[in-house]
A and B are shown apart, each in its own frame.
Chain A
Amino acid sequence: MSENLTPSGEPSYLQYKGRYRGIFAWIFSTDHKRVGLLYLWSIMTFFIVGAILGLLMKMELISPGKNIMGPQTYNGFFTLHGIIMIFLIVIPGLPAVFGNFFLPIMIGARDVAFPRLNLTSWWLYMLGAVVVLTSQFTGGGPPDTGWTFYAPYSFQTPTNMLPAVTGAFILGFSSILTGLNFIVTIHRMRAPGMSWFKMPLFPWSLYATAWIQVIATPIVGVTLLMIIAERTLNIGFFNPALGGDPILYQHLFWIYSHPAVYIMILPAMGAISEIIPTFSRKTIFGYKAIIASTVAIAFVGYFVWGHHMFTSGMSGVALYTFSILTFLVAIPSAIKVFNWVSTMHKASINLQTPFYWAVSFIFVFMIGGFSGLVLGALSTNVHLHDTHFVVAHFHFIVFGGTGFAFFGAMHYWFPKVFGRQYDAGWANIGWLTFFIGFVTLYGPMFYLGIAGMPRRYYDYVEVFHGGNIISSFGAIILIAGAGIIIANLVKSAIYGEEAKQNPWGGITLEWQVPSPPPLENFDEIPHITKGPYDYS
């Protein structure tokens, strides 16, 4: 209880007793740290489901012909895999878990601006997840459109689209509330003395991300509503038979869903920008350049959606515009990579698991980014559109980028969140297995795509067999790695050694509060006088 708190004997956020007991002390808690952990558990649960779906698809693709599932099941699997991974995991991902937990602490606040809204957003997330998942068990069977719900198929398929689309709409609402909360928090609740340019880079990336969440998500919201109206009222918005234009659906869908890629990757970059200076024990190189590139990516990234539609029949002018804008996004992304690498230059690096994750993030992110340029060029895109090359590209960015950063952040902040240290040996083995599995799984897909293997088919011709065997074995290694990592983290959270307040020697604010932090984070709100990475 807040009235009998003392600086020494304060209960941590994990222990304090509120009004509710047991699980209710969590699911009704408005504490930003508990909400963050609620998201963590939910996301981890869904991740296991989504990863198993992915593994089963790879097992189907291990040899030509039908192995363990037929075409309709396969369509259902990649749809559900996409919906779960995109809407339930990587979009909330880092902002909802680590943003909720660390944004207030890193800017020196006691909580987010609207704690109840924050909890509401988790509840909406769970509601959306449940609604999406009911589509699997009711009505005309699992949706088979892919996570993009492309019209006109999405309102013609007999499968159970309505719950999937409604659920995605609710999840969008949850995402908007998180973004709104973060913007207000950053505007209103920074500690005294923390000017905009004394704010750490993770909060900066969350700020840019939050703006995308607020101004892009409503577009997909209304688009999903139109799909619902289309299915129930037969209005004809996207139905060519009634004068509608299916390509307009693609425009509207990608106006959100491309910026959504930046919702996924920007906080990941923010987390990497925290990890690298801490383990390099050095000021980050080009602090303001990283901020500028974050804002530039968020801004330009809002206007490049058309590169998902190069083969859909857009006008030439639109094709050139989108292609040029797409290439422009590469510039700020490269600036970040240069800054990270320059930070490590001549540093006495503390080689720990989070640092391995950060470096491997840079590696896979660059491969993903460069393959993105291949797809952003109009002539090569015609050849590679809807092949496995695209699958490899976005897995390198979304899974390699966001996923690696998520695990990196997980290890980096683990001692702070749980007050216990993970087992470093197993963590490193897990990282190595995961990394090898990742490259083995997605690397061959580049080759398969260039060779012409299309995506979203349960079957293929014999000539693609070799690459698929390697890829499928990669999937097994990757799942083994993920298993080691998760098992190690779960075990360490319960039985691990007690962690010190500042095990890595970090100097951002979260390392100046106890591990785990007390309910209100700070006894006294700190006064900020120095920049966030001032190691002098």
Chain B
Amino acid sequence: MEHIPENTHIHRDDEASKIGMWLFIFTEMLLFGGLFIVYSIYRYLHPVAFELAADELDVAAGTINTVILLISSMTIAMSVSAIQKGDRKKTLMFLGATLFLALMFLVNKYFEWGSKISHGLYPGSDSLHELGHGDTLFFGLYYFMTGLHALHIIIGVVLIATVMYRVYKSRVREDKYALLENTGLYWHLVDLIWIFLFPLFYLVT
């Protein structure tokens, strides 16, 4: 695309990309905001069932994933500091750490979902419907919200891998790192959503 003459008027404006990224983050916040409305309404309508159902979830697994995401948020923030200093090697190292932690999160999530599903607790399952309305809704929301969140993690993994490649090729560098900065913003958003998902599903019992 770079060689089309009509693209000569595309100026590089990092501040514009950043506002754009923030606006995208707002749409994501509203997307999950809609789900938080659903969660809070159904929690209000079925308080006891929601508390008991939350007991079924593994607090340890949730806590580990929270810690993983928080650390990964720090490593990607550090990678931004590193590229600003022009330290390509450290940038790659921190991004690699973030990527590794993101994959760890997904592995943990896989086992967590797997154990729930093996107990027959999945959307539409008979044993879930037998537990009653509150549990059906709780686990419906659990799978839908953490699933949507996991999808965002996967997108993040792809993004981070892309940025790493570009840093490696020096296309993202000390004087041109908007892509890395915006990927960082995206990754913090994923963290931000989890910060609310974690207490609402695992802790409030």
Contact = CB atoms under 8 A, between A and B. Distances in A.
Contact of A255 (B34, B42, B134): B34
Judged by DSSP, the binding face of B is helix
A184 B20 contact: yes
A237 B140 contact: yes
Given A114-B20, A184-B20, A184-B23, A218 B137 contact: no
A31 to B, nearest CB: 6
A111 B10 contact: yes
A188 interface: yes
Contacts of B144: 226, 229, 235, 237
B155 to A, nearest CB: 14
Contact of B19 (A111, A188, A216, A520): A188
Given A19-B4, A184-B19, A188-B15, A221 B134 contact: no
Chain A, interface SS category:
helix
A252 interface: yes
A176 B41 contact: no
B60 interface: no
Nearest to B20: A184
A2 interface: yes
Contact of B16 (A2, A113, A222, A245): A113
Contacts of B46: 243
B5 A219 contact: no
Nearest to B24: A180
Interface stretch (B25-33, B87-95, B97-105, B176-184): B25-33
A519 interface: yes
B33 A242 contact: no
Contact of B38 (A188, A216, A237): A237
A385 interface: no
A115 interface: yes
Interface residues of A, number: 51
Nearest to B41: A248
A121 interface: no
Contact of B30 (A117, A184, A215): A215
B123 A214 contact: no
A157 interface: no
A243 B20 contact: no
B123 A183 contact: no
A222 B132 contact: no
A113 B20 CA distance: 9
Given A30-B4, A519-B6, 20 more contacts: A2-B8, A19-B6, A111-B9, A114-B16, A179-B23, A214-B26, A215-B27, A218-B31, A218-B34, A222-B31, A222-B35, A226-B38, A233-B124, A235-B123, A235-B140, A237-B141, A242-B136, A243-B132, A248-B37, A519-B9
21 contacts: A1-B5, A2-B8, A30-B4, A30-B7, A110-B9, A111-B10, A115-B10, A116-B1, A215-B26, A218-B31, A225-B148, A229-B123, A235-B140, A235-B144, A237-B141, A243-B42, A243-B45, A243-B134, A245-B45, A248-B37, A251-B37
Which 8 A-B pairs rank lowest in CB-CB distance, beginning with the nearest?
Answer: A243-B133, A235-B140, A218-B30, A234-B124, A218-B31, A222-B34, A219-B34, A233-B123
Interface of B: 1, 3-10, 13, 15-16, 19-20, 23-24, 26-28, 30-35, 37-38, 41-42, 45-46, 123-124, 129, 132-134, 136-137, 140-141, 143-144, 148
